[in-house]
Every structure is written in C-alpha cells, then in structure tokens.
Structure 1
C-alpha cells in the first residue's frame, strides 16, 4: 500500500493547513431488474486508496500545528450473510490495517463524523459540482457545523475543487503505475496479434472481438478498458463504431481499437490489417502513409517538445500523402501548407493524434500550459503516458479515387515519456506490412 500512502501524502502537502478533503468512490449501477453492471471503482478514489469496494469515502485531514495529517476510510461493515451472496467485505478494522489508513469507520457514520471533522477546518476540498448527492451531503454537513457558531465553532470558509490537484498528480505516472501500464500494454498487444492470427474472410466482427476478450482475461486483465472496436470495411470509417456484428469480407481491411484494463490501468491500441492477410496495392499505399505519419509523431514525442508537435508532425505527412495519392486535388486545394491552413485534410483525418492515458483511457490532465501567456500546448515531460494514433478514413465521394473507398486505417500505440525520449508500451503488437502479412501467413 505504500504507493497509495505516498500519493495521499503528496496531496496533503498541497492542502491548506487543517484543511479537509472528501472523496467518494463510484456507486453501483443497476443494469436491469435486480442485476448490476460489473462494479468498477472511481479512478480518483482508487488512486489514493487502493480500495475497490463500493459505498466507500476517503477523508484526508491536512496537518496543523496541534495535529498530524490523517487519512480516514468510511466503508461497509462486515456482513456475513451478504458475504455469502456477494463476496468478501473487508469491514472498517480490516480495511484500516490492510490498506494503511489511520482510522476507519462504518459508512453509516459518515454524516455524524463529518460534522466533527469539519469543525474549525479552514477549507473543504471535494469534487465541486460533480455529484448532486455529494453536493447535498456537503450542504448538510456545513449547515450542521454552522449551527454550532454560538459555541465558537466555525465552518470552512473556503471550498476548493479537489480534482484539478489530483489531475496533475495522475498525469505523471510513478514507477508502480508504469509497471502496471507496461503489463496492460503487453497483454493488449498479445490480444491484437491473436486477433490477426484468427481472422478469416467470412468471420463476424464479434468473433474477432471474442479473441481479444479471451486474451485479455486469460492473462489476468480484469476487463476491457473500453468497448472494443472491431470494424471491417466501411465500418472502419466510423470512428467510434461498436456494433461489431458485420461480416469481414475478403478484400477488406479490419480496424481494431482495443485495450485491456489491468489492475486499474488502461491500454489503448489500434491496428488495421487485411481480412485475407494480404494488403492490396491501394490498401498498402494508405497504410504506409498512416505508418509514416505515426513515425513522424513518435519522433516528436520527446521531453521538452510541445504536446501539439506530435499532431503537427503527423498532419504534415498525411497532408502530403493525400495530395500525392490524389485524395485531394492540388488544383483545388493547393500545396501542403494550404491543405493544412484551410483544413482540407478534415475530409479524411478529423481527430487528434493522441490523448493522455492512465487509469482512464482518456486520462486526466490539461493539454495546455495554463500558467503561460496564451496557454500554448504544454511541454512533454518524463512520466507522462499518451497515445499516438494518426489515421485516415476514406468514404465514397466525388473526386476521391474509387480504389480507396470504404477504407479506414488507424495505427495507435501507447507511449511513456522518459528522461531521454520515450518507450512504446505496445510495441509487441505487429505494425509493419511485413510483420502483419508474415503473422497472418503463419497461422495455426
């Protein structure tokens, strides 16, 4: 539990002396009737606690002159009867001892205890406006403390949004987080390779999805990090396609965007490959263009470079390729700088080249340097993890060569920024034309 204790200590050091922070985990969510969706903890809560039971709240008390900093967990009590049906509940005492908290109480005591904990605290930190239920609880707690004003008790006079503090912490992955993300990347890369080996003309997209899910789970990943995309043919031109029920036909490409969640951390990998294991000449031309764009973006993924430089590098390569392949007309669109300035590329490339990655697949943290005039794109720093994912999506349209129609390609890798460069966490997923065709040729 030492990484979680260290994170709590870092947060407490940023808080005002005597301040109180409150962070609740996610609720259970009904799927239908009396069945719930598989439970998944709140990322912020788990980041500070390592505790994954529902109905839990973490309270942090910053040090003051007469008292040290403290961490207090409120959680479900032991309930042998419910544990027969639902599994282990740690209960407050075991949670305190096992997870390194200074104290733990039953969740039913939260409202009563918070009045005492907030008395004379100068500041309250919580996720402002993110939960109507928590906002209502905070209002009740503060009203109770204010009723004691005649006894000399004061309520917090400062309310601070807790999440921006945690966002900046979570943006930089510590050694333990990096290890978990390497594992998530390795498992997900194996799953992509398995899907390639299994793919045959006439399969349904969901059959390929099943290969991904099997590989995730058999290596210990708890779940997909997000709903997997398996998109064959024209479906690959739908960026967030999720039906996964179409046939994969001979001569088509299939685009997979999938990654597992391992111990709370996500992978996010995209690969595109031919259903029959052999790229046609037009498919290969588009694929090599996207691969070159990703290589340019990866070259810009260096500490000290601006985040936006990756997108700019990929976009320039893609714009040049769109002109060379005839997707865009030089007569109508001009040269590369004109294509970029006038955003002609948006017909075929309409998303950014990456995003932060961590406990959430689209992880937290600002993309701009808010402290610098003009708020430019922030510099990359060691410990950040992001995706690099250029793509190209060609729908039927007048003036677009028909040989490219209904082709969607995205190549996405997970990248950890290091002191001297970067590490590709998903490098084991086959990516070059030669690697993909060789793998699919030598299938069992």
Structure 2
C-alpha cells in the first residue's frame, strides 16, 4: 500500500494547510432489471486508496500547525450475511489496517462526520460540478456547519477543484504504475498476435474479437480497457466502429484497436493486417507510409520537447505521402507546407496522433502548459505515458485513386517518456509488413 499512502501524503501537502478534501468512488450502475454492469471503481479514488469496493469515500485533512495530516476512509460495514450473496467486504476496521488509513468509519456516518470535519477549516476540495448529487450533498454539509455560526464555528470560505491537483499527479507515472502498464501492454500485444494467427477470409469480426478477449482473460486481465474495434475492409475507415459483426472478405485489411485493463491500468494498441496474410501493393504502400509517420512521431518524444511535436512530425510524413501517391493533387498544393497550412490532409487523417494513457485509456492531464503565457503545448517529461497512433483512411470519392479505396490503417503503440527518449511498451504486437506476414504464414 506504500504507493497509495505516498500519493495521499503528496496530495495533502499540496493543499492549503488545514483544508479538507473529499473524494467518492464510482457508484454501482443497473444494467437492466436486477442486473448491474460489472463494477469498476473510480480511477481518481483508486489512485489514492487502492480500495476497490463500491459505496466508499476518502477524506483527507491537510496538516496545520502541530496537527498532522489525516486520511480517513468511509466504506460499507462488515456484513457476513451479505457476503454469502455478493462476496467479501472489508469493513472499516480491516480496511483501515489493510490499506494504511489513519481512521475508517461506516459510510452511513459520512454526512454527520463531514459536518464536524468541515468546522473551522479554510477550504474544501472536491470534484466541483462533476456530479449534481455530489454538489447538492456538499451544499448540505456547508449548511450544517453554517448553522453552528452562533457557537463561533465557521464553515469553509472557499471550495477548490480537487481533480486539477490529481490530474497533474496522475500525469507522471511512478515505477509501480509503469510496471502495471507494461504488463497490460504485453498481454494486449499477445492478444493482437493471437488474432493475426487466427485470421482467415470469411471469419466474422466478432470471431477475431473473441480471440482478443480470450487472451486478455487467460492472462489475468480483468476487463477490456475499452470496447474493442475489429473493423474489416471499409469499416476500418470508421474511427470508432464497434459493431464487430461483418464478415471478412479475401483481400480485406482488418484494423483492430484493442487493449486490456490489468489491475486498473489500460493498454491501447492498434494493428492493421491483411486477413489473408498478404498485403496487396496498394495496402503495403499506405501501410508503410503510416509506419514511417509513426517512426517520425516516436523520434519526437524527448524530455523537454513540446507534446505537439509528436503530432506535427507524423503529419509531415503523412502529408508528403499523400502528395506522392496521388491522394492529394500535387499541382494544387505543391508542397507539404501548403498541405499543412490548408489542412488538406483532413479527409484522410482527421484525428490526433495520440493521447495520455494510464488508469483511463484517455488519461487525465492537460495537453497545454496552463501556467505559461498563451498556453502553448506542454513539454514532455520523464514518466509521462502516451499513445502514438497515426493513421490513414481512404473512402471512395471523386479524384481519389481507386486502388486505395476502403483502405483504413492505424498503427498505435503505448510509450513511456524516458530520460532520453521513448520506451515502447507494446513491442509484443508484430508491426512491420515482414513481421505480420511471417506470423500469419506460421
């Protein structure tokens, strides 16, 4: 539990002296009738606690004067009868000892305790405007404290947004987080390789999805990190395709965007391969263009360089390839600089080249340097985790070479910013034309 206790201490140290912070985990959500969706805790809450039970809240009290910081858990009471139906629950006493809290109480006592904890403190940190019911609950606590004003007790004079502090903390991954992300990436890479080995013309997309899910679970991953995309042929030109129910045809490329969640940390990998095991010349031409764009983007990942350099490096390579292969009219645009200035690439490449990665597949943290004038792109730092995922998507259209129609390609890897450059976590998934074709032949 050391990483979680250390994070709580860091957060408390960054708060105003004597302030109080409160953070809830995610609620259980009904799927239909008396069935719930599989439960998944809130990422912010888990980051600070390691505690995965629903109906829980964390309260932090920052140090002030001689009074040390305190961490307090509110959770479900121990209930042996309920455990027969729903499984083990810690209860406050065991949770306090197992997870390193200073105090722990039944969650049913939270409202009464908060009316005491907020007395004479300077500010309250919570997820402002994150959930209407939470905002209403906080308002109730503040009213309860203000009702004691005649006794000389003051309510917090300020409310502050807790998640902005946590976003900055979560942006830099510690060694424990990086190890979990590597495990998630390795399992996910093996799953992509399994799907490539299983692929045959005539299979349905969902059959390939089943290969992925089998490999995730057999290696201990708890969930897919997001709904897998298994898109054959023209479906690969739909960025968030998720039906996964079409039948593959001989000659199709299959784009799979899928990653598992291992101990709450996400992987996010995309690979594109020919369902018959052999790239056609047009497919190979565009595939190797995207691969070169990714190599350029990876080369731009260095501490101290702007995050935006990653996207811009990929764009230059893709734009040059679009001119070279006739996707864009060279006579009209003339140069890569003109393509970039007019954003002429957008019919074929319309998304960013990556995003932060961690407890959430689109992880927290600003992409802008909010503290710098003009809010330019923030600078990369060791410990940041991001995806690198250029692509190209060619829909049938007038003026577009027919040999490229219905080709959708994306290549995505997970990367940690190291002390001198990128550390790619997802090498277990074959990526070059030679590697993919050799694996599928085998």
TM-score band by shorter chain is over 0.9
**Counterpart residue number, 2:292:** 292
1:120 and 1:218 map into 2 onto residues whose CA distance is 53
1:384 & 1:265 partners in 2: Cα distance? Answer: 14
After TM superposition, list the pairs within 5 Å mapping 1:7-86 onto structure 2: 7-86=7-86
Asked whether 1:439 is paired with 2:432, we answer: no
Q: Which residue of 1 aligns with 2:161?
A: 161
CA deviation string 1:42-75 (max 9, x = no partner): 0000000000000000000001114110000000
Q: Distance in 2 between matches of 1:425 and 1:357?
A: 12
Q: CA deviation at 1:421?
A: 1.1
> Is 1:429 aligned with 2:441?
no
Counterparts of 2:92 and 2:372, CA distance in 1:
45
User: Matched residue of 2:346: which SS?
Assistant: helix
How far apart, CA to CA, are the structure 2 residues paired with 1:229 and 1:17? 47
CA distance in 1, matches of 2:352, 2:60: 37
Match of 1:342 in 2: 342
What do residues 263-321 of structure 1 show as CA deviations (whole Å, max 9, x unaligned)? 01000000000000000000000000000000000000111111000111100000000
Q: CA–CA distance in 2 between the matches of 1:9 and 1:122? A: 19
| Corresponding residue SS for 2:18 | coil
CA deviations on 1:95-137 (whole Å, 9 max, x unpaired) are 0010000010000000010011001011100000101111111
Structure-1 separation of matches of 2:85 and 2:203: 39
- Matched residue, 2:257: 257
Aligned to 1:146: 146
Cα separation, 2, equivalents of 1:113 and 1:372: 40
Q: Tell me the distance in 2 between the aligned counterparts of 1:18 and 1:328.
A: 61
Tell me the equivalent position of 1:105.
105
Q: Quote the offset at 1:334 in angstroms.
A: 2.6
In 2, the alpha carbon distance for the partners of 1:80 and 1:151 equals: 42
Equivalent residue, structure 1, for 2:406: 406
Distance apart, 1:358 and its partner CA: 0.3
The equivalences for 1:208-357 within 5 A come to 208-357=208-357
**In the aligned structure 2, how far is the partner of 1:215 from the partner of 1:34?**
30
Q: Which runs of at least 4 in structure 1 moved beyond 2 Å after TM superposition?
A: none
The answer to whether 1:206 aligns with 2:206 is yes
Pairing 1:386-405 to 2, within 5 Å after superposition: 386-405=386-405
Match of 2:3 in 1: 3
CA separation in 2, counterparts of 1:370 and 1:78? 45
Q: Which moved more, 1:240-249 or 1:60-69?
A: 60-69
- Report the counterpart of residue 184 of structure 2 in structure 1: 184
- 1:231 is paired with a residue whose SS is strand
Structure 1 position 78, deviation (Å): 1.0
1:378 and 2:378 correspond: yes
Structure 1, 10-19 or 65-74: larger mean CA deviation: 65-74
State the distance in 2 between where 1:325 and 1:39 align.
48
Describe the SS at the equivalent of 1:344.
coil
Instruction: Encode CA deviations 1:372-431: one digit per residue, 9 max, x unaligned.
Output: 111111110000000000000000000101110001000000000011211000011100
Structure 1 stretches lacking a partner, 5+ long = none
**1:106 & 1:371 partners in 2: Cα distance?**
40
Listed one character per residue, the Cα deviations across residues 12-67 of structure 1 (whole Å, up to 9, x for unaligned) are 00001110000000000000000000000000000000000000000000011141
Structure 2 gap ranges (5+): none
**Cα distance in 2, alignment partners of residues 34 and 349 from structure 1:** 44
Q: CA deviation at 1:336?
A: 1.1
Deviation readout 1:230-274 (Å, 9 max, x if unpaired) = 000000000000000000110010000000000010000000000
C-alpha distance in 2, partners of 1:386/1:166? Answer: 18
Residue 165 of structure 1 and its aligned partner are, at CA, apart by 0.2
Cα shift at 1:333: 2.6
Distance of 1:55 and 1:333 partners within structure 2:
58
Hey, what's the Cα distance between the residues in 2 that align with 1:96 and 1:132? 29
Distance 1:123 1:374 in 2: 30
Partner residue of 2:130?
130
Q: Secondary structure at the match of 2:166?
A: helix
CA distance in 2, matches of 1:370, 1:132: 27
Higher alpha-carbon deviation: 328-337 or 366-375: 328-337
TM-score normalised according to structure 2 size: 0.99
